[in-house]
Structure 1
Amino acid sequence: MDDPTFGVLHDFRQPLPHHAAMSRYYAESLDEVAAADQLGFDAVWMSEHHLTADGLLPSPLVMAAAIAARTTQLRIGTNILVLPLHHPLRVAEDAAVADLVSAGRLVLGVGQGYAEEEFAAFGADRRHRGTLLEEGITLLRRAWSAEPINLHGEHWSYSQLSVTPKPERPIPIYVGGVTAAGLRRAARLGDAVIIYCAKPDELRARRALLDQVAPGTPLTCTSILHVADDPEQAWAEVAPGIAYLEGQIATYGGRGDLPEPQRGDYLVGTPEQVTEQLVALHRDVQFDHFAHWTRLPGLSHHRALESLQLLATEVVPAVTEQLSPGGGLDLGLG
């Protein structure tokens, strides 16, 4: 297995009450993405949700184009675009444009979604989200191919339809999954599976489930991670944000209140502590790519940048060295 790569995850949300204009918050977040590009991270991933009070990003492909203008190396991924909320032909067009302006750096991560109010607001039938996802992925790939679309499915029907512009290479499609059935489908439909779990033990459990239904599937993990030279400072900075983030995710899924986060459950600490945790996690999970929230809710722009710097200069090289003695992943860190 090749050495794993590392990336960053952004949702561009600013918890209430907003302390900065959203235009300024976007500018700061894009500065953080640009810093990740300069520090040699491999990819940036963007979430999608709708109708949230805190402004969680509703338009990841629009933001992908903005990121393309600020970066040169990062792969630009969606994690995830809720495909059943969108017409797949529109997604095919927008994704092709984003891929072209980024010189072929887009990764389209898609999933079936789950939030009832989002489906209701967009007039999408939540009961059919599985077939909407499957048929939508088929339509995306056919839209990007050289041949006209001839598809007669459950939701869409086209004959000799040509969609332009075309991407200049196949855009990778990663698919999210949670349950055994969802992970099996994700492995079947996608070029890789992408998952989010806040805690290392949850990532281990999800990988074990994936291995039961589709062993050997390439896996991108997204999770929570934060470092500081002082472990107490690291936890104090992000504990409120973790509680907020996990509470919001529970709300989207219609679940009740969660217990307060416990420090030992997360990848938070000094660079040395987090390096040790990541090495152990990779040995168990064998992730191909690992991305973390760059700016957990409430974390300052300044501290997000400092944590990125520590991760790039101390954690990632140390993890790579321990996983590949005598070698290492060239992150362009100098």
Structure 2
Amino acid sequence: MEIEFGVLMDVREEGYGGERVDEVVVADRLGFDGVWLSEHHLTGDGMLPSPLVMAGVLAARTSRIRVGTNILVLPLHHPLRVAEDAAVVDLVSGGRLTLGVGQGYSEREFAAFGVDRRRRGALLEEGVRVIRSAWSEVAPRPRGKIPIYVAGVTAAGLRRAARLGDGVIIYCATPADLIARRKLLDEVVDNPPPLICTGIMHVDEDADRAWADAAPGIAYLEGEIASYGGTEPPALNREDYLVGTPEDVAARLIAVHEATRFVHFAHWLRLPTLSHDAAMRSLELIAGRVIPAVRAGVSR
């Protein structure tokens, strides 16, 4: 099966208008296989709290690209509500929804919703069970089978994700961390389901300009992710990230595939602080030169 490529839509308070949606329309036209939406709450920049609402918007503006959540924090929601909303999005999109869920980790989010963070693993398991049951027993029913992918990070989380999900989602900013997570998954699970990798990738004809454009956004993302988990952000090293010329990034992504065997790789379509023009240059180059080179390289 040919490996797939997708984009992560970064939506913050200033980006709910036209440009971000237009960028996904371009990704659809360029042949990307999926667009993914994350979920966060109580952020200073208004990062997307309602991924299924935005999924419906994107479904209406696109024609073929699959629309997915990566991830929806299931313990913060009533699973029947999620099942109904997901079924509606799937129906209006013509069966293009993928539901990616996870247990979450942010203490402030769980406190705000009055959910016991210590029960998040159990709530995730129960939620997936309820959703699958609702889709078979309660109208509206999805057009077909909606894939449920489950995110994991730790050994216990990866075991749970492999047991519950049609696929396992891993987000890591760097190739080294993606490879380490794949190794851990193989250590704790026999015959795991397909792996969906999401991370950072940005390309330009000029490698120095690629890094100059991407570095502020990477620093912002790493800082935000660290703040959610109450940790310190890592120091930025240029060689750690999939940033550079199309040829260099393609070669490195082929190596990532050899080590992780991902079936789908998604990257931030537009990093925070990145201009629309820089994001579109990168997207065109990834579609035209990175993806064909990677597919050719992994098929040998």
**What TM-score, normalized to structure 2?**
0.97
CA-CA distance at 1:164 after TM superposition: 2.0
Aligned amino acid, residue 136 of structure 2: S
1:253 to 221, 229, 240: 229
Contact residue 28 and residue 65 of structure 2 kept, 8 A: yes
Tell me which residue corresponds to 2:4: 5
Tell me which residue corresponds to 2:108: 117
Aligned amino acid, residue 219 of structure 1: L
1:191-242 C-alpha deviation (Å, 9 max, x unpaired): 0000100000000000000011224421000000000000000000010110
SS in 2 for 1:165: coil
Tell me which residue corresponds to 1:299: 274
1:194 to 166, 169, 176: 169
SS in 1 for 2:8: strand
CA-CA distance at 1:22 after TM superposition: 4.4
Contact residue 11 and residue 48 of structure 1 kept, 8 A: no
Tell me which residue corresponds to 1:183: 158
1:246-278 C-alpha deviation (Å, 9 max, x unpaired): 01000000112x243110000000001001001
SS in 2 for 1:56: coil
Aligned amino acid, residue 304 of structure 1: A
Contact residue 10 and residue 272 of structure 2 kept, 8 A: no
Q: Please list every run of 5 or more consecutive structure 1 residues that lacks an aligned counterpart in the other structure.
A: 15-20, 147-162, 326-334
- Measured in 2, the distance between the counterparts of 1:215 and 1:240 equals 39
- Measured in 2, the distance between the counterparts of 1:224 and 1:259 equals 15
CA-CA distance at 1:11 after TM superposition: 2.7
Aligned residue pairs total 299
Aligned amino acid, residue 72 of structure 1: S
Aligned amino acid, residue 28 of structure 2: D
- What is the root-mean-square deviation in Å for CA atoms of aligned residues? 1.1
CA-CA distance at 1:170 after TM superposition: 1.6
1:123-162 C-alpha deviation (Å, 9 max, x unpaired): 111111111000000000000014xxxxxxxxxxxxxxxx
Tell me which residue corresponds to 2:247: 272
Q: Which has the higher helix share?
A: 2
SS in 2 for 1:145: helix
- Measured in 1, the distance between the counterparts of 2:98 and 2:70 equals 9
- Measured in 1, the distance between the counterparts of 2:221 and 2:190 equals 30
Would you say 1:168 and 2:159 are equivalent positions?
no
Would you say 1:286 and 2:261 are equivalent positions?
yes
Tell me which residue corresponds to 2:31: 40
- Measured in 2, the distance between the counterparts of 1:129 and 1:321 equals 41
Would you say 1:85 and 2:61 are equivalent positions?
no
Would you say 1:59 and 2:58 are equivalent positions?
no
- Measured in 2, the distance between the counterparts of 1:31 and 1:271 equals 23
SS in 1 for 2:101: strand
- Measured in 2, the distance between the counterparts of 1:138 and 1:33 equals 31
1:50 to 37, 41, 46: 41
- Measured in 1, the distance between the counterparts of 2:212 and 2:12 equals 20
- Measured in 2, the distance between the counterparts of 1:194 and 1:102 equals 22
Contact residue 3 and residue 263 of structure 2 kept, 8 A: yes
Percent identical residues: 65
1:309 to 266, 281, 284: 284
- Measured in 1, the distance between the counterparts of 2:148 and 2:198 equals 16
Contact residue 10 and residue 294 of structure 1 kept, 8 A: yes
Q: Please list every run of 5 or more consecutive structure 2 residues that lacks an aligned counterpart in the other structure.
A: none
SS in 1 for 2:6: strand
Aligned amino acid, residue 6 of structure 1: F
SS in 2 for 1:51: coil
Tell me which residue corresponds to 1:160: none
Tell me which residue corresponds to 1:150: none
1:163-210 C-alpha deviation (Å, 9 max, x unpaired): 321112121100000000100010000000001000000000000000
- Which one has the largest radius of gyration? 1
1:63-109 C-alpha deviation (Å, 9 max, x unpaired): 00000011111111100000000000100110000000000010000
Tell me which residue corresponds to 1:237: 213
Tell me which residue corresponds to 2:202: 226
Contact residue 69 and residue 99 of structure 2 kept, 8 A: yes
